[in-house]
Amino acid sequence: MKIFVISLIAFITTTVLFSCKQKINADNIYFNGKIWTGDTANPSASVIAIKGNQIVYVGNDISFVNGETKIDLGGKMLTPGFIDNHTHFLSGGYNLTSVHLKEVKTKKEFIETIKKYCKNLKGDEWILGGDWNNDAWGGELPNKSWIDSVTGNHPLAISRYDGHMILANSIALQKAKLNNASKNPFGGTIWKDTKGMITGILKDEAMNPVMKEVPSPTAKDYEQYLANASQYAVEHGFTQVHDVGSYGGWPELETYHKAYKANQLKLRIYAFVPLSDWEKLDGYVKKNGKGDDYLRWGGVKGFVDGSLGSTTAWFYEPYLDEPTTSGFPVTDTLNLKKWVIAADAANLQVVVHAIGDRANDYILNVFDSAIRINGEKDRRFRVEHAQHMRTETMDRYFQLKVIPSMHPYHVVDDGSFAPKRLDDKRLKGTYAFKSLLDRGVPVCFGSDWTVGPLDAILGIYAATGRETSDGKNPDGWYPDQKLSVEQALKCYTVNNAYGVNMENKLGQLKVGFLADFVVLDKNLLALTPYQIKEVKILQTVVNGKTVYIK
């Protein structure tokens, strides 16, 4: 009898508490899903509810929520919206309609693709974009003689896919006043053949004379690039991108402001300007603040070195296939250090491109100096790419609280040619995602679009499988660096939000967070890496609004 009375009291108490519990009001309720939240305290759920632009419920009991619109996910996966930590967003929007050379495998195909593209051009319009990969046809660098006869009156300056090398045709070289007598500038190389003849290949700072001749896009052009890029981004599940610049940073920021004021931004954007402009940005921030949750600024981006593909990344030892060089800094190192310290003192977020092992060590030393000079504070220094590093360098990332901003799909591309440039000792510290995460370093992920595809699904596939494009590493290139799907997801969501001081608003599905999420057709956590790359985006929601639905 006593047990019965106690049970009855417990039942009545539970019933009363439940009946008295005030239900949560929502605009939209998504249920019957496999929800990965990114929240370690509540990692999975089947129901999520949003009101306005905020999440109001994440759990498993739909009866707790009132809402007029209920969306049955049918067992599909729902995750926080993907964030890309490193894009060249507007030039990516341009490249969507330019000549495409990334998949070209032969010299003949290279020439024919450009010839076909030129047939649709008028007058003397410039040919830009390209994203060619000479390693796809054995490594031979293209030559202006390949394409002078098919480009007509059009000046051409097409980039290698890493963005650190261009091929210019004779018309473009003439406009830039570059010829056989031209000398290499600081931080760049004018490539010449064995007879001393200029080939049209220009590396890093040597690209500047040609690129200065390219007419600046109009405001209308920029608007179109943004429209192209934004639609492409939301179709691939992105709810925020970090734009590290394509056209000098300031035209991009102006374009974003204009779209924001017209309520035409489809996704959140964090825009960077060049590090050398830190003083101008400091004044701009003092006058205008740093934006809001939708459009933000206040970051500056600099460069230490070039790229592995262009053999301009800065290493301690020479390249195996170009033993006369170990790469070089592309920015005067004294200026770079001065700018970093000054920008940090002005409370601007500083991110710096560093690829080679020597470049990574150099910029960590600079960051260390800034910390000692300006004092301890929450600054979120980032190294963009953080591609090749020594074991002791990984330890310093943790000690200095520096964020490695990395790009997993580069494994697929670079892994096919890196062994001919670097020895095994250096390659073991290449794209060392897991070694860094195991040290407690908050690795964040992106694409470096258009260097890599603006596609988090392909990024997760690359991080978990580490297969290379040549098919020679089916079990993974340096497989000890492979991540779990959950680790890769966190790098695209939780860690990326941390990378821009938004970890209390974005990157996780938690009550009170902004309602950014994506619906996938399959459960990533149940797939092999090879299967992951076939996953499709079904819906993208930004700030509580559906911006894409398949």
Residue 160 CA: distances (Å) to CA of 53, 129, 132, 421:
41, 9, 5, 17
Name the token pair of 97.
């309609």
Nearest of 271, 245, 244 to residue 257 by alpha carbon: 271
Q: Does 357 have pLDDT greater than 90?
A: yes
Q: Residue 364 above 80 pLDDT?
A: yes
| Residues 8, 11, 13, 19, CA torsion sign | negative
pLDDT digits (tens, 9 = 90+) for 117-176: 988 888 888 989 888 889 888 889 999 999 899 998 999 999 888 888 999 999 999 999
pTM of this prediction?
0.88
Find the mean pLDDT for residues 287-299: 97
DSSP assignment of 420-451: HHS-HHHHTTBS-HHHHHHTT---EE---BTS
> What's the mean pLDDT when you consider all of the chain?
93
Check whether 6 has a pLDDT greater than 90. Answer: no
Q: How far is CA 82 from the centre of its chain?
A: 11
- For residue 10, is pLDDT > 80? no
How far apart are alpha carbons 313 and 347 in whole angstroms?
A: 29
Query: What are the residue ranges spanned by the domains of the chain?
Result: 2-75, 83-87+217-549, 94-211
Q: Quick check: 15 pLDDT over 80?
A: no
2-75 CATH = 2.30.40.10
pLDDT digits (tens, 9 = 90+) for 449-478: 989 999 999 999 999 999 999 999 999 999
* Fold classification of 83-87+217-549 (topology level): TIM Barrel (3.20.20)
- Average pLDDT for residues 525-543, to the nearest whole number? 96
Query: For residue 530, is pLDDT > 60?
Result: yes
Classify the C-alpha dihedral 49-55-59-61 as positive or negative. negative
Same fold, 83-87+217-549 and 94-211: no
Q: How confident is the model at residue 8 (pLDDT cuts 50, 70, 90)?
A: very low
> Cα separation of 243 and 274, whole Å?
11
pLDDT for 440 equals 97
Least confident of 53-57, 196-200, 249-253, 392-396: 196-200
Q: What is the CATH number of domain 94-211?
A: 3.10.310.70
Q: What DSSP string runs through 111-174?
A: HHHHHHHHTT--TT--B-EEEE-GGGGTSPPP-HHHHTTTSTT--BEEEETTSSEEEE-HHHHH
For 433, phi and psi rounded to 5 degrees?
-55, -50
Q: How confident is the model at residue 520 (pLDDT cuts 50, 70, 90)?
A: very high
Which 3 state secondary structure label does DSSP give 354?
strand
Percent of the chain with pLDDT over 90: 84
Which SS3 state, helix, strand or coil, does residue 361 take? Answer: helix
Range name among 143-147, 340-344, 489-493 with the lowest pLDDT average: 143-147
Residues near 62 by Cβ (< 8 Å), separated by ≥ 6? 29, 31, 47, 70
| Confidence (pLDDT) at 21 | 58
Residue 39 has pLDDT above 90, yes or no: yes
Tens of pLDDT, residue by residue over 49-83, are 999 999 999 999 999 999 889 999 999 999 999 99
- b/e per residue 47-58 (b: at least 16 CB within 10 A): bbbbbebbbbbb
Position with higher pLDDT, 71 vs 6? 71
CA 307, 342, 377: angle at the middle one, nearest 5? 95
Q: Which whole number is the average pLDDT over 95-119?
A: 90
Q: CA–CA separation, 246 vs 91, rounded Å?
A: 6
Name the band, by pLDDT with cuts 50, 70 and 90, for residue 17: very low
Question: Which is more confidently placed, 407 or 68?
Answer: 407
Instruction: Flag whether pLDDT at 20 surpasses 60.
Output: no
> How remote is the C-alpha of 523 from its chain's centroid?
23
Residue 143 exposure: Cα atoms within 13 Å on the Cβ side: 8
Q: Cα torsion at 379, 383, 388, 392 (round to 10°)?
A: -10
DSSP letter string, 243-299: E--SS-SHHHHHHHHHHHHTT---SEEEEEEEGGGHHHHHHHHHHHTTB-SSEEEEE
